[in-house]
Amino acid sequence: MSGTGSVTGAAGRAGDSDALENLARVGLIAYGVVHLLIAWLALQLAWGGGGQSADQSGALATVAESPIGKPLLWVIALGLVALALWQAAEVLRWRSGWSASGDARKKAVTRSGKAVAKTVVYLVLAFAAFRAATGGGQSSSGQQQQTAAGVFGWPAGRWLVGLAGLVVIGVGVYHVVKGVTQKFLEQVDLSTAPQGTRRLVTRLGQVGYPAKGVALGVVGALLVYAAVTFDPAKASGLDGAMRTILDAPFGRVLLTLVALGIAAFGAYCFVRARYPERT
């Protein structure tokens, strides 16, 4: 077997190994916990009891404040790293299809692209959990504002920030479509699940994905607005998106619905941990 083939084969075996899959289950549970905490913080924000930022950093800070916060943050971080490795192995699993033609090549490239994007998301969140576990960290809103300010100084930086906003909006739309069309069911293997569980999974995904899509869409819109106004302070991340929803007409009701939807997405992650299917 060639060197490249050996690497690909090893990656495929790693991706299918029981040890990595079990660690990825921990990561999926951690991902679900983070979303449940974001939902709780959003509900607090909606009803006047908000303290932490209603975003990933606020969720991790909430974990850190618990009696077993630091050890739990390490578990969350390591689980998310395993989840990232699980998705990275998926890229190499589809690598042989890159040289195919027609629909086979399109499917391989699409699946690889999605796996790369998920790998990056899980690694970023894992890094945030590591920083929170070691006493560091900053609000995601603050980080996003600093990043936007830095990019504004690049050639065509304003356009890059606007393009990033459009990409995030596109991801949000994709989440909404994924929830409406029930394509999320491709991510779980429910062949051995009872009928009641299948109905529950379907309902959670139908509610959770669109709600997360709406939140991401607002984050993207804020990025675009920051580019249009040349004001990095407008690029305020997920917490800023939650506050923007709250400031809208009937904002308290809208934010409550979004929070409940994000909670449903978190519960859906628990089901994925029970019935995992990478693709």
Maximum CA extent, the chain: 63
d(CA 204, CA 269): 9
Q: What is the pLDDT of residues 192-212, one digit of tens each?
A: 889 999 999 999 999 999 999
In the numeric block, the tokens 């990656």 are attached to 11
pLDDT, residue 3, reads 44
Residue 179 has pLDDT above 50, yes or no: yes
Count of other CB atoms within 10 angstroms of residue 142? 15
Q: What is the pLDDT of residue 17?
A: 63
CA dihedral sign, ordered 193, 196, 273, 219: positive
Q: Residue 19 to residues 83, 118, 272: CA-CA distances in angstroms?
A: 12, 20, 17
- How far is Cα of residue 132 from the mean position of the Cα atoms in its chain? 18
Report whether pLDDT(101) > 50.
Answer: yes
More confident residue, 92 or 195: 195
Listed ranges 41-55, 104-118, 213-227, 230-244; the one with the highest mean pLDDT = 213-227
Residue 5 clears pLDDT 80, i.e. is over it: no
DSSP state of 276: B
Please write the tens of the pLDDT for every residue from 108-166.
888 888 888 889 999 989 998 998 888 766 555 666 677 777 887 878 888 998 999 99
Coil, helix or strand at residue 156: coil
Q: Which of 197, 231, 258, 268 is nearest to 54 (CA)?
A: 258
Q: Find residue 276's DSSP bridge partners.
A: 188
Task: Check if the beta carbon of residue 83 is closer than 8 Å to that of residue 28.
Answer: yes
Q: What are phi and psi of 53, to 5 degrees?
A: -65, 140
Neighbours of 110 (CB within 10 A): 12
Q: Over 60: is that where the pLDDT of 6 sits?
A: no
